């Protein structure tokens, strides 16, 4: 494929368009801009990913006292901008990767403006599924969490709830017993859908109590989580309500990768983008990194690492196209 390099500095022409602005997309941009790859980030109206909803981050290397999630994202953004990344705080329109232009470029539109890129990095992340109950949004980061490995250490000797019934909920509950004095698992059905080995591990842990046929209907608290309203279905079909005092709630009912925008990318189970070799996808020139493809680790540091990998893969790809 031959590129006319006189076009590169056209205002809408880029070597790389990154869709997404969490740790993965911003780290990729830091790498690509330092390699003189002209990079555009379509960041979204609410830029910065899940860390914008996170208060204290204590496990990101380099911050011995910890750092607030939004502050960490602001620093990453400034670093990408310092090396020349262009950032647009707008949502990308849907992209159909089956319709590549005759010149081999990818067209991405945002806010009514079209941008052309030789390559695209999909780094749109994944959103934790929410319970959708009163108090949840207001108390997120104040006792409501969606990541045990991120926030477990803040709940030493506390009583916490884990909501969910799959393997990830079991893993979170088991992990949290390293910190909490007691973990109560709440599941809305009468049996778990997790694997038998995980169920047995949880049932045999003396710190874990299980409440089935129950769901949280409200989360109470002003500055932090104080209690939940719990609705339990009785065997006769009636339901009872109770208020349970609690220090924290970990919601582990799954994640939704942000892939609805894209047509033509191969997805695997759960809707995650299927990675080919390294960070490539089924569409040559389109790469992927971070939580939109990673359903296993889901950490800021791994997302950043995958962003660096993708940037190096993109740099190699562009060099080969020349």
Report the pLDDT averaged over residues 161-168. Answer: 94
Q: Which pLDDT does position 6 carry in this prediction?
A: 39
Q: What is the pLDDT of residues 103-152, one digit of tens each?
A: 999 999 999 999 999 999 999 999 999 999 999 999 999 999 999 988 99
Q: What is the pLDDT of residues 216-250, one digit of tens each?
A: 999 999 999 999 999 999 877 788 999 999 999 99
- Both structure tokens of 149: 């490995």
Which among 251, 277, 306 is the end of a domain?
251
Percent of the chain with pLDDT over 70: 97
Task: Please indicate, yes or no, whether residues 109 and 79 belong to a single structural domain of this protein.
Answer: yes
State yes or no: pLDDT of 1 exceeds 80. no
Catalytic residues: 147, 150-151
Task: Please indicate, yes or no, whether residues 113 and 216 belong to a single structural domain of this protein.
Answer: no
CB 178 within 8 A of CB 154: no
Percent of the chain with pLDDT over 90: 84
pLDDT band at 56 (very low <50, low <70, confident <90, very high): confident
CA dist 26 and 73 (Å) reads: 9
Average pLDDT in the chain: 93
- 3-class SS at 187? coil
Residue 17: which domain range? Answer: 5-127+255-321
Q: What's 299's DSSP letter?
A: -
More confident position, 168 or 19: 19
CATH code, 104: 3.50.50.60
> Element (H or E) spanning 7, and its range?
none
Sign of CA dihedral 294, 195, 180, 220: positive
CA dist 29 and 252 (Å) reads: 31
Q: Which pLDDT does position 9 carry in this prediction?
A: 41
Q: Which pLDDT does position 169 carry in this prediction?
A: 93
Task: Please indicate, yes or no, whether residues 110 and 143 belong to a single structural domain of this protein.
Answer: no
First-to-last C-alpha distance (Å) of the chain? 7
Task: Please indicate, yes or no, whether residues 145 and 234 belong to a single structural domain of this protein.
Answer: yes
CA dist 102 and 99 (Å) reads: 9
Report the pLDDT averaged over residues 38-43. Answer: 98
Q: How many domains does the chain have?
A: 2
> Element (H or E) spanning 60, and its range?
none
State yes or no: pLDDT of 270 exceeds 50. yes
pLDDT band at 61 (very low <50, low <70, confident <90, very high): very high
Judging by beta carbons within 10 Å of its beta carbon (0-12, 13-18, 19+), is residue 255 exposed, middle or buried?
Answer: buried
Task: Please indicate, yes or no, whether residues 173 and 187 belong to a single structural domain of this protein.
Answer: yes
Q: Which pLDDT does position 51 carry in this prediction?
A: 87
Task: Please indicate, yes or no, whether residues 98 and 161 belong to a single structural domain of this protein.
Answer: no
Task: Please indicate, yes or no, whether residues 114 and 262 belong to a single structural domain of this protein.
Answer: yes
Q: Which pLDDT does position 236 carry in this prediction?
A: 79
Which among 210, 232, 251 is the end of a domain?
251
Q: Tell me which of 22-26, 50-54, 74-78, 213-217 is least confident.
A: 50-54
């Amino acid at each position: 494929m031959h590129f006319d390099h006189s076009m590169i500095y056209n205002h809408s022409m880029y070597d790389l368009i990154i869709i997404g602005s969490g740790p993965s997309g911003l780290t990729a941009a830091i790498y690509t801009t330092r390699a003189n790859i002209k990079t555009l980030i379509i960041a979204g109206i609410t830029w910065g990913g899940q860390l914008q909803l996170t208060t204290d981050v204590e496990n990101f290397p380099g911050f011995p006292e910890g750092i607030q999630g939004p502050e960490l994202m602001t620093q990453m953004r400034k670093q990408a901008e310092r090396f020349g990344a262009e950032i647009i705080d707008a949502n990308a329109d849907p992209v159909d990767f089956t319709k590549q232009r005759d010149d081999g470029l990818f067209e991405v539109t945002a806010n009514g403006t079209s941008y052309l890129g030789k390559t695209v990095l999909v780094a749109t992340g994944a959103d934790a599924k929410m319970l959708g109950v009163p108090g949840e949004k207001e108390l997120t980061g104040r006792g409501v969490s969606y990541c045990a490995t991120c926030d477990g250490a803040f709940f030493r000797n506390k009583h916490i709830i884990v909501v969910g019934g799959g393997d990830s909920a079991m893993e979170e509950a088991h992990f949290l017993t390293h910190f909490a004095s007691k973990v109560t698992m709440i599941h809305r059905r009468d049996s778990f859908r997790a694997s038998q080995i995980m169920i047995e591990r949880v049932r045999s842990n003396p710190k874990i109590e299980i409440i089935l046929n129950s769901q949280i209907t409200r989360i109470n608290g002003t500055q932090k989580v104080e209690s939940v309203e719990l609705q339990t279905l009785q065997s006769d079909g009636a339901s009872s309500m109770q208020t349970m005092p609690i220090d924290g709630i970990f919601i582990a009912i799954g994640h939704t990768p942000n892939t609805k925008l894209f047509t033509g990318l191969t997805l695997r189970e759960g809707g995650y983008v299927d990675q080919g070799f390294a960070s490539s996808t089924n569409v040559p020139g389109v790469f992927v990194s971070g939580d939109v493809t990673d359903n296993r680790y889901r950490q800021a540091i791994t997302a950043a690492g995958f962003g660096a990998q993708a940037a190096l893969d993109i740099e190699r790809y562009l060099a080969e196209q020349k």
